[in-house]
Amino acid sequence: MTKLGQWLCGLALLGSAWAVLALAPPGLQLPAPYRQALLPLPVYLLVAFGCYSLATVGYRLATFNDCEEAAAELQEHISTARADLRRRGLRF
């Protein structure tokens, strides 16, 4: 199954569970407080996910390494390489 398929199945499952519990017809209902709590749940989850995303990306952005030494090392390698290749007869 594709990722899209997995997402659709998951959403269908959760969606129908939520619909049954939160929007159920009379006779098959949970007590009112539970239904009232369940009703806005999808929106809450969406907002929670949004916050999680922002926090995660922000954290990862802040901890993104800058490779100062790698850059310096590379410059060194480049000079060594050019000198050595010139010695071996490469015409740049």
Site residues (vs another protein, CB under 8 A)? 2-4, 53, 56-57, 60-61, 64-68, 70-71, 73-74, 77-78, 81-82, 84-85, 88-92
| Rg (the chain; Cα; Å) | 29
Closest to another protein by CB, 19 vs 77, is 77
Q: Tell the smallest beta-carbon distance from residue 15 to another protein (Å).
A: 19
CA distances from 40 to 31, 35, 37, 80 (A): 16, 9, 7, 65
Give the whole-angstrom CA distance, residue 76 versus residue 68: 13
Closest to another protein by CB, 20 vs 70, is 70
